[in-house]
Amino acid sequence: MPNAVIISRNKTLVRALKRAVDNCDLFNTVETQDDLDKVGSALVSGGKFAFVFIDETFENIALASFIENAKRTDGAKKACFVLVCEEKSRSREIIGNALMTGFHAFLSKPFNVSNIQETIELALKVNGRGSKHRLRAATGLLLSEIVHGSKDEVSGPTNLWKEVEASCNWYKQVTGDSVTLSVVDPLHQFSAVERVKHYKGVSERVRSLIKERLKNLFLPS
Q: Give residue-wise pLDDT tens across range 37-71.
A: 999 999 999 999 999 999 999 988 899 999 999 99
Instruction: Residue 191: name the closest of 68, 105, 29, 99 by CA.
Output: 68
Q: Give residue-wise pLDDT tens across range 4-24.
A: 999 999 999 999 999 999 999
Q: Give residue-wise pLDDT tens across range 170-216.
A: 888 888 889 899 889 988 888 887 887 787 777 788 888 887 877 77
The domains of the chain, with CATH numbers, are 3-217 (3.40.50.2300)
> Does residue 18 contact residue 30 with C-beta atoms inside 8 Å?
yes
Does the pLDDT at position 165 exceed 50? yes
Predicted pLDDT at 217: 63
Distance, in Å, from the CA atom of 110 to the CA atom of 118, rounded to the nearest integer, reads 13
Predicted pLDDT at 89: 61
Question: Rounded to the nearest 10 degrees, how much is the dihedral formed by the CA atoms of 116, 118, 122, 128?
Answer: 80
